[in-house]
Structure 1
């Protein structure tokens, strides 16, 4: 690796985790390098808009360059364009929150969210990452990956407990993925957030590879077992339509 690039990216990662910003002393301590080197790296990042300094606190935070880049990235993802009408159709049928996610480096990334007409507070937002093992979208994607890739993700990220309902046993989790693959959908009942239930289906491309997942999320009080039976076929139909738009043929 190029050490200076590695350090610059580490600075960006550290700064991104702190809304109030990070000071030079703390950055120097975390990277175990002197302040003068930190200043040089920060000046370069500031010049290119990736980092900016709060003139009052003197701390550094993310620059607006990321909004520009993230907007360009989202616009370049054709999946969003192709899926949007179907996501809106799904929302019109359910009035619940609809998510579209993609798989990236052992996690899922939300690339679209339609709020629905019902009130629901969730941690999800476009651009945010989420674990795979305790989300319905993550589980349906995992279920269609090769076993060696699944095991690599589990070994790397583990199966950390998010709520009392999170599956943390490796053998049980693999069994759950097998069930999801066979039935064509995945359900998550308060495994990631207490009080929230989600159901998801995978999205496939023209190479028959899983590339994304779409889900319906709502409070567990509304997303009862009876209601899930009603909305599952609608969701599965939408999943097939999006996959078809991406060139997938189920034969």
Structure 2
């Protein structure tokens, strides 16, 4: 675990004081409660106010309350909670339809983080878990999410990245990865066969929010003993159906004639 940064810790301590009482505080109150030097408190309050994490209270000189930036962060967090909650429900529906494991993941840097899943009903099955992190280039959800990025952002994320493999079939060549991403972008479905697990294949489709932006991907995973071309087509169609259902729940307009959204 890395070292905690004292200045950041103090700033967060200040913000957390506003969770109690009437939600307003003065500099002397902050100084007393946190037992910090007055100069330090003044600098912290000034900095937080400059970044809109705090604002002065109208008609109450010297008092502060939480600013709009904290609301924006909270709203963003709530959006992610909604995605996870809706993702679990849709994953369970898709898994109930096909009997295979279903995951919903988001992109963080060059990794994917699984935020929702539903397990397979088969005796031989893939076991997944929310919170798991894997290299994006080794997964179908990761390929789908990378393929959704604008070219400039994709270049920035992949520039200098060492493509470490998880299995002997993982894509570790940058040119090969680009080809796979182009295919996923054109098809609207990403596929990986034994690239994150030597016994598993996956197909994934993009999940969009109200604005049409790709915010997640939904995948269906199946042991290779149940994998063939026909099954891949079936699961790809089901992954698309699940992703569209989740997109609709997030406000994406799926009606015929609605303005189309490209992957980028």
TM-score in same-fold range (> 0.5) = yes
What's the TM-score once normalised by structure 1's chain length? Answer: 0.67
Superposition CA RMSD, Å: 2.6
1:122 shift after superposition: 4.8
Q: Which segments of structure 1 move beyond 3 Å, counting only runs of 4 or more?
A: 73-76, 119-124
Match of 1:84 among 81, 88, 92: 88
**Structure 1 residue aligned with 2:162, among 158, 163, 166?**
158
- Counterpart residue number, 2:5: 5
- Work out the CA distance in 2 between the residues paired with 1:155 and 1:116: 37
- Runs of 5+ consecutive residues of structure 2 not aligned to the other structure: 10-76, 260-264
How far, CA to CA, are the matches of 2:103 and 2:123 in structure 1? Answer: 15
- Pick from 176, 183, 190 the counterpart of residue 187 of structure 2: 183
Q: What are the Cα deviations for residues 4-47 of structure 1, in whole angstroms up to 9, with x where unaligned?
A: 428x99xxxxxxxxxxxxxxxxxxxxxxxxxxxxxxxxxxxxxx
| Cα distance change, pair 207–178 in 1 and its aligned pair in 2 (3 A) | same
2:119–2:127 CA contact under 8 A, matched in 1: no
Could you tell me which residue of structure 1 aligns to residue 122 of structure 2?
118
Match of 1:239 among 236, 243, 249: 243
- Separation (CA, whole Å) in 1 of partners of 2:95 and 2:126: 16
Distance in 1 between residues matched to 2:127 and 2:160, nearest whole Å: 23
Unaligned runs of 5+ in 1: 10-72
CA distance in 2, matches of 1:165, 1:234: 25
Instruction: Give the corresponding residue for 1:226.
Output: 230
Larger Rg, first or second structure (1 or 2): 2
User: TM-score, normalising length from structure 2?
Assistant: 0.64
* In 2: Cα distance, 1:5 partner to 1:207 partner: 37
The answer to whether the 8 Å contact 1:180/1:186 transfers is: yes
